[in-house]
Structure formats: structure tokens, C-alpha cells
């Protein structure tokens, strides 16, 4: 596991991203284009941004190949961004709604070489151990577009589930798994075996102990 710093700049960007994401989701919802079934709390977008940004920075720094974000090649132009900020006073065309939909529903988070990577995140005030398990929705694993999963835990100064003022202090980059490995080796379950809680939908139950270290040959696998 690799400890990654969360800088004030990343926290500011995450706050801005989260606000923008909620506006985009509301527009999609009003136009019957909202299919986001996995957002549970308003903090999910904030946490997801930090997990992706810290993982992206790590990959760029440690691997000698091009690293690309989905958001960088499916970005929203300034004219559409302005319309989103002032919606519904500014009308958004069908073509613009389609661009917004493509931007919002990413097929992957980061591309590195021939790898299409989905960054998974979880928030906790505890230190992850190899005994933990992490569930990934079955529907996400079986959807085309991704080849690898990277798991990145956000560590807060206190339990973020019950403390609204909890602050993220670092990320723990657990490692990676291929989707092929998950499909062939991880059971599908509605229960988290280690945490003892129930999932809302069927998940592939991955073990933290099975995630492979990113520094040991990720570029060759």
C-alpha cells in the first residue's frame, strides 16, 4: 500500500468538481438522462475526485508512458459550461445534452498505454488492512470499457459517515486488479464479508490482500 498526500489544491479542485457535478446531474435528471445509480451521498463526487486525482498524479510520476483522463478528452467547452451554470435560464440543445451525457458517464477514468482504468474509492478513518474486503457492483465489472481496477482509500481525521466536518488527511493507494481476475476469482455477493454490512445490489467481493502493488510491474501486466 502506498500513502499519497492530499494537497490543499486537490481539496479545492474536489470541492469545485463536486458542485459542478451536482449541477450536471440535476440537468440530466430534468431531461430524463439520469442513470447514476451509485451516488449515495453528496460527498461521493468529492471523494471520487480526490481518489482519481491522486492516482493520476502517481501514475504520471512513476510510469514512462502517456496517462490520460476521460475528463480531458471528453471535456465540456466554455459555452456549454456557462449554460450549465445558468440553467434553466439558458437553454441547452439536444446536441449539448448528448455531450454532457458522454462527459458525465465515463466508460473509464484513466487510460495508460493499453490499460483502461477505473479508480475505485472508499472513505474511512481507519487504516486499511489486508483482511478487508471491497465490493464492486457486478454491473460495473461486466460493462465494456475497462480493463483494470485501482483501489484508493481516502483516510479522514474522524469517521466521515457520522461527522460532517471530517477532513481527508491522506490517500492509501491499495493496488490494482484486472477485470479478468475479478470475474474469474471473486465471488458475487450481496454482503461485505469483512465489514458485515449488506450491499444494495450484487457486488464482486474483492479481497484487499489480492490487490497487486502498482510499483511492481503494473506497466508490464
Give per-residue pLDDT as tens, 48-63: 999 999 999 999 999 8
Query: For residue 220, is it within any domain?
Result: no
Exposed, middle or buried, 152 (CB in 10 Å: 0-12/13-18/19+)? buried
Residues 6 or more apart whose Cβ sits within 8 Å of residue 108: 70, 116, 117, 118, 145, 146
Query: For residue 219, is it within any domain?
Result: no
Global pTM reads 0.86
Residue-averaged pLDDT of the chain: 88
Query: For residue 216, is it within any domain?
Result: no
State the total domains in the chain.
1
Query: For residue 46, is it within any domain?
Result: yes
| Domain housing 127 | 2-210
Query: For residue 150, is it within any domain?
Result: yes
Kindly write down the DSSP assignment for every residue of 147-162, as one continuous string.
Answer: -EEEEEEEEESS-TTT
Query: For residue 25, is it within any domain?
Result: yes
The percentage of residues in the chain with a pLDDT greater than 90, rounded to a whole number, is 52
**Sign of the four-CA dihedral 26, 27, 31, 32:** negative
Running along the chain, 221 residues long, what does each successive block of 10 average in pLDDT?
93 92 87 64 84 95 91 84 86 88 88 93 92 91 91 95 92 95 91 68 92 81 62
Amino acid at each position: 500500500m502506498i500513502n499519497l498526500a492530499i494537497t490543499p489544491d486537490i481539496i479545492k479542485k474536489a470541492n469545485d468538481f463536486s458542485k459542478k457535478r451536482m449541477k450536471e446531474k440535476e440537468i440530466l435528471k430534468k431531461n430524463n438522462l439520469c442513470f447514476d445509480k451509485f451516488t449515495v451521498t453528496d460527498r461521493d463526487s468529492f471523494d471520487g475526485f480526490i481518489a482519481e486525482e491522486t492516482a493520476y498524479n502517481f501514475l504520471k510520476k512513476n510510469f514512462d508512458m502517456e496517462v490520460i483522463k476521460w475528463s480531458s478528452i471528453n471535456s465540456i467547452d466554455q459555452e456549454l459550461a456557462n449554460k450549465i451554470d445558468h440553467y434553466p435560464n439558458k437553454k441547452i440543445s439536444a446536441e449539448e445534452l448528448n455531450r454532457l451525457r458522454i462527459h458525465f458517464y465515463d466508460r473509464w477514468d484513466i487510460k495508460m498505454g493499453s490499460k483502461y482504468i477505473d479508480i475505485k474509492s472508499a472513505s474511512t478513518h481507519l487504516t486499511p488492512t489486508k483482511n478487508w474486503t471491497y465490493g464492486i457492483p457486478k454491473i460495473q465489472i461486466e460493462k465494456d470499457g475497462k480493463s483494470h481496477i485501482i483501489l484508493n482509500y481516502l483516510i479522514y481525521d474522524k469517521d466521515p459517515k457520522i461527522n460532517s466536518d471530517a477532513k481527508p488527511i491522506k490517500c492509501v493507494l491499495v493496488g490494482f486488479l484486472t477485470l479478468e481476475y475479478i470475474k474469474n476469482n471473486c465471488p458475487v455477493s450481496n454482503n461485505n464479508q469483512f465489514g458485515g454490512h449488506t450491499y444494495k445490489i450484487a457486488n464482486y467481493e474483492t479481497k484487499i490482500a489480492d490487490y497487486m502493488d502498482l510499483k511492481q510491474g503494473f506497466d508490464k501486466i
